């Protein structure tokens, strides 16, 4: 678990750290999507950029794996916002962004994959490659029955988790996601169980 700084940090410091990992283009795209939805955010005070502040809070929480209590205790927003409001707002925004995320993940076809590879700077060593696939394990909150003998145990994380497989192009753009599933399923076994996906004529 990531530990927040012992001292309080200002919200703009948290925002700057988020922006080191998530570009303005992506954040603005998320905001544009969210602004078109009916979202009820909680807060005793709601300044003009309240939606953006709560989006940044959600991203920081997920990037650093910090609980709402730590956020509430450690971040100075410059206005009043309760622990319950932070919990509600981050949960609502994350749920609403599911639709945005689905819009970003477009499989494409061989022509788009090859075009991305031609316009990359990866060099001749991978000149015949247009797709990359790899798995990543993400931690789960610990619960009873999630020990090393559990299907949820990840030896990569040395804790409980779920595995996701991602397909990416030469620009590291995610084209498809599978999961979550047991971290104990080897990548080779996953590919074998999904052989039909790779053998479709329109993807060759």
For residues 91 and 116, membership in a common domain is answered with no
Q: Can you give the pLDDT at residue 149?
A: 93
Higher pLDDT, 141 or 154: 154
Q: Verify that 91 and 13 share a domain, yes or no.
A: yes
| Co-location of 147 and 189 in the same domain | yes
Encode 11-50: b = buried (16+ Cβ within 10 Å), e = exposed.
beebbebbeeebeeeebeebeebbeeeeeebebeeeeeeb
What is the maximum alpha-carbon separation in the chain?
Answer: 58
**Residue 197 shares a structural domain with residue 140:** yes
Let me know: does 176 contact 163? Beta carbons within 8 Å. no
Neighbours of 6 (CB within 10 A): 6
Q: What does DSSP assign to residue 194?
A: T
- Under the banding of pLDDT at 50, 70 and 90, the label for residue 203 is low
Does pLDDT of 4 surpass 50? no
Domain containing residue 37: 9-104
Q: Is residue 36 part of a domain?
A: yes
Q: Are residues 67 and 146 in the same domain?
A: no
Specify the pLDDT at position 6: 45
Question: How far lies 117's CA from each of 57, 103, 131, 173, in Å?
Answer: 35, 22, 8, 11
My answer on whether 84 and 123 are in the same domain is: no
What pTM was estimated for this model as a whole? 0.78
The model's confidence at residue 125, banded by pLDDT at 50, 70 and 90, is: confident
User: pLDDT at residue 52 above 90?
Assistant: yes
Tell me if 3 is assigned to some domain: no
What's the confidence (pLDDT) of residue 1? 40
């Amino acid at each position: 678990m990531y530990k927040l700084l012992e001292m309080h940090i200002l919200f703009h410091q948290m925002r700057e750290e988020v922006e080191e990992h998530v570009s303005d283009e992506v954040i603005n795209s998320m905001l544009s999507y969210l602004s078109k939805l009916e979202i009820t955010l909680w807060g005793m005070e709601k300044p003009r950029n309240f939606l953006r502040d709560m989006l940044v809070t959600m991203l920081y929480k997920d990037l650093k794996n910090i609980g709402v209590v730590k956020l509430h205790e450690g971040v100075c927003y410059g206005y009043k916002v309760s622990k319950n409001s932070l919990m509600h707002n981050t949960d609502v925004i994350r749920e609403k962004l599911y639709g945005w995320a689905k819009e970003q993940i477009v499989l494409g076809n061989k022509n788009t994959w090859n075009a991305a590879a031609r316009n990359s700077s990866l060099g001749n060593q991978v000149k015949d490659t247009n797709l990359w696939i790899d798995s990543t394990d993400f931690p789960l909150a610990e619960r009873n029955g999630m020990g090393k003998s559990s299907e949820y145990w990840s030896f990569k994380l040395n804790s409980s988790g779920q595995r996701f497989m991602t397909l990416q192009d030469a620009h590291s753009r995610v084209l498809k996601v599978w999961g979550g599933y047991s971290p104990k399923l080897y990548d080779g076994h996953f590919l074998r169980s999904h052989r039909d996906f790779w053998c479709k004529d329109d993807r060759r």
